[in-house]
Amino acid sequence: MANTLPLLGNLRIPTGGALFGTRIHPITGVRTMHNGIDLNESPFNRDAPIICVADGVVTQVRRTGVQGGAMCHIRIRHDNGFNTWYTHQRTNTITQSVGDRVRRGDRLGIIGTTGQSTGVHLHFQIDRGTNATAINPWGFLFDGVDLFGQGTTNPQEPTTPPILSPNPTHVVIRNETLSGIARRYNTTVAELARLNNISNVNLIRVGQVLRLPKATASPQIVVGSRVRLTDNAVVFGTTRRFSARVYAETWIVLQIRGDRVVIHRNANPRRGEIDNIMSPIDVRHLILQ
C-alpha cells in the first residue's frame, strides 16, 4: 500500500546543499567524505520540523547543543538492520529518549545548526552503525526505493529554491499566517501589509497572491556575479571565521534574498556537486571580482 506521507516533512535538497560523497568541508576546508545528505525547506524555513522516515527504536539522542560545539542529534535503529541519523537540530527540540519506540511520521525536532554546521539544515544519514557503512540516501528519499518496507518515499520531487524574480510573490497555503510568511522571506508583517494593502493582518486567504519585498542586494552584486569574501566575513549567526581556503576562493552568486546572498563554487551546481556555502552571506561581506 503506497504511503504518501511526506518523509522528513517537506525537506528537500537546497541549492548548494551537500550531497552524499566527498566534498571540501565548508569549515575545515579539507576534502572529506560527507556521509549523508543536507536538506532544508524551499523556500528556506528555519522552523521546519524533522519527520521520522520509518518505525524503529531510539539508540542515541542528544537534546542540547550550540553551533560550533555539541550537536543535537537522534539515531534510530530499524528492523532491517539500517539506522537513520538526524543531526544539527535546534537545541531542546527533540523529545524522545534512548529506548523509545518511534513511528514513521513522528516529529524528531526542528532543523537547526548545532554542531559543526555553517547554516540551518538537517543532515540525514542512513548507515549500519558507523560512518563507514553509510549508504547514499538519494534513492530512498527521491527515487522510490522502499528501503524500510513501509512504502515508497518522498512523493515530492527534490527542488531547489527559486531565484527571486524582480517581482517576487507568495501564494498563501492552508494554515499559513502573515507572520509565518514574513519570517520565511526575511521581512516583517508590517512590510507585507503595506505592499499588499492589507488592513487586517489576521485576514489572509488560501490562494491569495502576496507581493514580497524586492531583492535589495547592492546594485553591483547580481545573480551570477563572481565574488570573494571580505576578511571579516564570518559563519552566519556566529563570530567564527571560515577557513583560509574559503576566503581565498572566488564564488558565484546563486541567489539574492534581501541583503543576503547564497554563493557557490559553481554557477550551475550538478546533482553530485557538493562543495558549497549553504548559509546566506551578508552582502556587505562580499567583494565583487
Where do contacts with Zn ion occur on this chain (CB under 5 A)?
38, 123
Minimum distance between the CB of residue 252 and Zn ion, rounded to whole angstroms?
21
Minimum distance between the CB of residue 206 and Zn ion, rounded to whole angstroms?
35
Backbone angles phi, psi at 22, to 5 degrees: -85, 150
DSSP state of 283: G
Minimum distance between the CB of residue 35 and Zn ion, rounded to whole angstroms?
8
Which of 38, 251 has the CB closer to Zn ion? 38
Which of 38, 41 has the CB closer to Zn ion? 38
Minimum distance between the CB of residue 278 and Zn ion, rounded to whole angstroms?
9
Which of 52, 134 has the CB closer to Zn ion? 134
Minimum distance between the CB of residue 137 and Zn ion, rounded to whole angstroms?
11
What one-letter code names the amino acid at 78? H
Q: Given its phi and psi angles, is residue 274 left (phi above 0), alpha (psi -120 to 50 degrees) or beta?
A: alpha
Nearest to 74 by CA among 55, 87, 57, 92: 87
Which of 84, 225 has the CB closer to Zn ion? 84
Which of 38, 280 has the CB closer to Zn ion? 38
Cell of 210: 502576496
Provide the b/e sequence for 278-288 (b: ≥16 CB within 10 Å).
bbbbbbebbee
Check the CA dihedral 129-135-140-141 and report its sign: positive
Give the residue closest to Zn ion by C-beta.
Answer: 123
